[in-house]
Chain A
Amino acid sequence: MSEKKNIFERRPACTILIFLFILILLIDFLSGLLFIKEDYQSFRTQHYYYHHGLRPNQQAFARWSVRIYPFNTNSLGFRDFKPRKISLEKNQRRILILGDSHTEGVDLPFESTFSGLLAKKAEQHHTEILTAAAVSYSPRIHYLITEFFIEKKKLECDEIYVFIDISDIQNELVYEKYNPGKYNILTRLLYNVKNFLKRNSFTFHTVKKIITDKGKKEFYDRITGEKKEEKNISETFSADLYYSFFTHFNDNILLANPRFHGVGDWLYDKEFNSLAMKGIQLGQENISRLNNLCRNHGISLTIAVQPWHSQIKMKQTVDEYVDSWMKFAEKNNIGFINLYPLFINEENPQAVIKKYYIKNDNHWNKEGHNKVAAYLEKIIWE
């Protein structure tokens, strides 16, 4: 009677291979645990449906400029005071705020951003405010993220305020060819596995980093231009983010033109004016889609436009950009808020920039957010 053989004796090669595989995996994940450094953008993620967004339930720290500030997200992956579960059903008036980096509130803790200030105030008015905003969002992403949450996830809300600005015209061109992945189990599984490996597997992380660094270097070598007052984007901490938004944009001639990256001036630049118009048109097509979606779900929609430095310096409260959106909103029966007069008025434009904006940056500082929140509070609750 032959003795019962163990698995190694029965299949030595296979067992060694399995053992080696498990060992490599262990070493890989252990190395990941030890050597993958959490950076100040770790709460951000690519998204298979709405391009990019924020990871849910994060308690992290962020860096936009020189400051490092707390950054928390709720269960939906929206910026919030702290990680918390958000019910899909509403039990009071619910407002969804959409926007880009201005609305995300870069360089500030959520409490100091206009949406954070409004969310705090909302408690007194039996209202809930959710902020679905992230850096480099534009009408295309606003539509996709709303479709994802309202239609796929069945999130309930009464009103949507969407904050747009001049940077959207570039984003719209960049996202023109972006198509969302299918909302099915396989896509979601692949997306989750990829994200898991990126954050935990040392090998996956390292290979991805090498490829990204190479691409980033090539990208910035092409776009480096001359800027007197501000730093080139490639020299700032938001450079990695900026690069990652161009993954679906292949127009190398445009990318190589430094003026393409100074989107604030497109409207005033003969060469770029037609491109600016195309960006506005794409944006309006996407907001039309968003408006239809809102109508189907009985949600009221309001657009708000905010100025950059270049608009403040031009001192026009209704420029080509504002005028175009104002007419669009009127035609489509969408609410419209012009934030330009808050920053373009009798005050000296440079004084306004100094008082309400981050140093050498188009985003509001704490005072700027206070000003916007105080203005919107009246519109929302009075």
Chain B
Amino acid sequence: MALSRDMSMEQAVEMVETLLDGPESRFPLSFNSDLPRIRELFHTATRSQWDPQKDIDWDKLDPDAYTQEQRDAARLYWSRRAWSEYGAISESPALQVRFGVEKRPSDMQLFFTIRSQEEARHAEVCHAMAERLGGYVEKPVEELFQGSVSTHGVRRAALSADIPLEGIIAALVCTAEEIAFDVFKHLDRVTRDPVAKQIVRFIMRDESRHCAFGWYFLEAICDTLDNEQKKMIEDSVVTMMEKVELNGYHSAWLAPPNPASNAEVEADRITYEAGLGATVEEAEKPVFIATVQRIRDQMRPLGINLPPFSHPKLGTI
């Protein structure tokens, strides 16, 4: 690839009002642990680091044990997982910037430093799996599907002073990451290939902390919020559900039916049947519904009341 500045010059830009538009004012600078449960997550993550190169038993993966069709489907599935994890590397750091600008408890910044590293490990391991199954695929098979997997808008929201941080965390972490975590638990049950299963477990272990971060934060902050602020949180969660999750960001079968998403769904089915890591609509549907119901139940005591959600394939949850 040529490294040419002309390439950058062609790229579109946009003018955005952000919370970085004013002068920086970092003092007083405190590193007190105001959210000790989140500080402990940072310390646990520090103790629990793993390395995709060394800690995965790659020699237990036998691609030849699978048909060409299964390998092709699985490499697309693991590539898609890599795109999804990359989304967190690309967008979530904006939240860390915001924690600093808004002088949120330092525990949040510290934890997010290692969270981003974990997302990098996840992207790395998913890419490595795709490579071993025949080669990483660097974009969706059909362009139509890019809309479902390209972004969930975290960066823009995180940099906007008009969108409350509480809503972003409720939507991104307590909703989207909870769904992802439950899917990983489900994948752990249905995946038979030992290496695929090992990868799922390593990622799941990290994701459990990511989810805990969100709930610890919400539980700490919700008592200080008024009804209007809680309504804004509800709106953020609804947007995440309707525009991102129910649009197929994590689960291809939820994406609007078109040739592109159909191809992804078919690849997932072949991968699932081979035990290489994916799942399918009929197996995941009850998991997805239970997760949404659990999220609703968990938010209710915090004063956040989620409405019913509808999707042609799920009915009303």
Does B associate with A? Answer: no
Taking beta carbons and an 8 Å cutoff, which residues of B are in contact with A? Answer: none
